[in-house]
Chain A
Amino acid sequence: MSSDPFDTLRELAGEPVPADVDTEYVWARLQVAIERETTRSRRRWLAPVAVAAAIAVAAAAVLLTSRPSPAEAALGEIAQAARQTTPEEIPDGSFVYTRTDQVALNTSEQGDLLGLPGAIAYLLPSTQQTWRQGDFEQSTTTVGTPIFFDPEAEVSYYAHDWDKADRVGETFTEQFTGITNELSDINWPANPRELRNALDDYLRQGTINHSMDIETIELAMNVLHLTNPSPELRAAILDVIGQLPVQLINQSPDGSITLAISYDHPALIEETFTLNPAGYLIAQRQTYLEPAAELGIPAGTTVWDATYTVPTIVDSLDTPDQ
């Protein structure tokens, strides 16, 4: 490898050549976008009427939302509890340990490499334990046995050794230094109104795939889960989420709650988040509410199911007692 890390990156990325199918795919997506944009332009003359209607709806919404929604009330209680907690000190030499158990959808358009007519999709279970200390990270990952939607795909997958590329059945440990987390680098305000603005500003730097509300919920959950926020910030995040269109779908006797959102991407997806009584994200799940025919995935399939442990402080790189 080259001594200049930029050259190394160039070498690793190679010089991929776009296939005709790639070009056609991008062209087709643009055609759909142009059609949508054309329709939108035609509708623009209706804008004043739409604005008047929106004002009426907003006025009605103000009346309806003067009482907190069940989700807002439940999140408010957890936020209150989060505010009362003492900030966690991480002693020198200690590690923050987390464990994630997940089953995630893997897809590849390159089913033809396996002799299949279309794309291939399967669910891959894995467990990852992570120890972090400053910018150092060690992770130990165990990859389980994939679950297929199509028996033919399963046979081809193993026949072509894709299980080796996925490291199925393996447990491997990796260590990294210089780890950065862009969400942790941001000084998020602990005032809910300022936090909402900061989240919106951050989102506007990138592409917005869904509605702004859905994007904000996703980002807020990421800040909650990935940055180990202070008690005040944790509470503010929960307050912000409570103001957004999340639905409370379960409240357990132990005080944990499960919230749901839904969006199109490209099929209709329901995503749920489970928070414990202290405001930690402990589970996340995505379920297709519509079939994804091109991947052979039926409606009702859970395509991502993850559970997270609450971060704990440990003094070694050993697996702690559960």
Chain B
Amino acid sequence: MRDDTDAEVITASWTDPSVFEEIYRRHHKTVLAYTLRCAGQQDGPDVAAEVFEEALRSRRSYNPEYQSARGWLLGIAAHVIVRYYRRRSKLRTVRYDEKNNEPDGDLSDDIATQVDARRIVDRAMRKLNSDEREVVSLFVFADLPYQQIADSLGIPVGTVRSRLNRARGKLRNFFAASNQYIDEGPPEDHE
């Protein structure tokens, strides 16, 4: 099993789901790194768990032409992340992040800084529609090139480019508004 390709492992897991553990061993670091960056240190592990659960359920949809499951898993992860931001939009709960246990320094300031950063990331991502969130999360948080994003999501490269362009404009507006307009009057021209 150790020498088998991801495609062979996933096919074997059709009849023996426990074989899927090998996919976890090979890719959990990539998936966790991505979900932690997208969803923060508290929610990231939950999102990563959802990704592997979803991948296990949908393992029969894996295209065995792709030898590595990395792109497939990140594609699933991007869908789960969209879902995650949708839930957050609804609940608007405040959660805390942790940057490992650091005994030195002012812990409360550190937490506050991270909470603020996480809030800004959340709000920024909520300014995008679900299609844009998928490509942005893979481009920004998984550092995938355009072609791999296209493969992961099953869309043309041109669509990846156009969604990223659109998202870049929206995020630029968002960051500009966050810096300039807080506690001031509304901008005269909202267009």
User: Which A residues are within 8 Å of any B CB, using their own CB?
Assistant: 1, 4-6, 8-10, 12-19, 22-23, 25-27, 29-30, 33-34, 37-38, 41, 104-110, 112-113, 124, 128, 133-136, 138, 160-162, 164-166, 173-180, 182, 185, 205-207, 222, 304, 317
Contacts and interface: CB of A to CB of B under 8 A. Distances in A.
B35 to A, nearest CB: 9
A215 to B, nearest CB: 10
A173 B183 contact: yes
A317 B187 CA distance: 13
Contacts of B170: 178, 180
A30 B121 contact: no
A134 to B, nearest CB: 5
Interface in B118-141: 118, 120-121, 123-124, 127-130, 136, 139-141
Given A16-B36, A18-B32, A176 B24 contact: no
Contact of A178 (B80, B99, B177): B177
B93 interface: yes
Interface of B: 15, 17-18, 20-21, 24, 28-29, 32-33, 36-38, 40-42, 44-45, 48-50, 52-54, 56-57, 79-80, 82-83, 86, 90-101, 107-108, 111-112, 115, 117-118, 120-121, 123-124, 127-130, 136, 139-141, 168, 170-175, 177-178, 181-184, 186-187, 190
A77 B97 CA distance: 47
27 contacts: A5-B168, A5-B175, A6-B168, A18-B36, A26-B49, A29-B52, A29-B53, A30-B20, A30-B21, A30-B52, A105-B93, A110-B98, A113-B107, A128-B92, A133-B190, A134-B190, A162-B96, A164-B108, A166-B94, A173-B182, A175-B184, A177-B190, A180-B129, A207-B50, A207-B54, A207-B83, A304-B91
Main SS class of interface, A: mixed
Contact of A30 (B38, B53, B92, B178): B53
Nearest to A108: B96
A15 B80 contact: no
Given A29-B52, A304-B91, A23 B28 contact: yes
A6 B117 contact: no
B185 to A, nearest CB: 8
Contacts of B187: 136, 177
A65 to B, nearest CB: 30
B178 A176 contact: yes
Given A16-B99, A18-B33, A113-B98, A175 B45 contact: no
B36 to A, nearest CB: 4
A119 to B, nearest CB: 10
| Residue of B18, B45, B174 ringed by the most chain A CB atoms within 10 A | B45
A124 B187 CA distance: 32
A168 to B, nearest CB: 11
Contacts of B29: 18
A151 B28 CA distance: 38
A148 to B, nearest CB: 15
B5 to A, nearest CB: 20
Contact of A9 (B94, B96, B124, B130): B124
A30 B186 CA distance: 48
Contacts of B184: 175
B139 A178 contact: no
A5 B94 contact: no
